[in-house]
Amino acid sequence: MGNHKLRTIDLFCGAGGSSYGARMAGAEIVAGFDIWEPAQITFKTNFRKASIYCGDIRQIKPRNIKKEIGDIDLMLASPECTNHSIAKGSKERDEESKRTAFEITRFARVFRPKYIVIENVVQMGSWSEQPRLLEELWELNYAVKEIKLNAKNFGVAQSRTGYF
């Protein structure tokens, strides 16, 4: 790849943890997307040159964003996870919230990044809609590798397994 930095967007960016790791690996963070204002403010503080798109990602038009920021190489995505995990407790699960994961393929159809990294809680792997999400990625000609990684094995001071 030479000196080319991977132009990167981060869907469901939060404060920018995934973007931070990507930047450490040499990526150029171009934009983040999040619905929660405190996360947007923190992301913008951490990535001053990146654009931040605020609001419900289901209402954002990727074609308009692509006109503004151009082509990208890498799309990071950490879709809503609370409704997959024990963090929700005994409260009812919100399937509509879980389905925000399909925004990944909606954005991929427009941006056509070379790479997509999806991160979530391990329970997402047993989600009833997971096969459909994988099918959509395959239809877009992405090779998919599912893997579980523990943060403690990568210099992070916590033992937390994620599903990638």
- Give mean pLDDT in consecutive 10-residue pieces for the chain, a chain of 164 residues: 85 96 97 96 97 96 98 95 51 69 97 97 88 97 96 90 92
Query: Domains plus CATH for the chain?
Result: 7-163 (3.40.50.150)
pLDDT of res. 88: 46
pLDDT of res. 89: 55
pLDDT of res. 125: 86
Helix H, strand E, coil C: the string for 55-94 is: CCHHHCCHHHHHHHHCCCCEEEECCCCCCCCHHHCCCCCC
What's the CA dihedral at 43, 83, 111, 113 to 10 degrees? 90
pLDDT of res. 137: 98
pLDDT of res. 127: 85
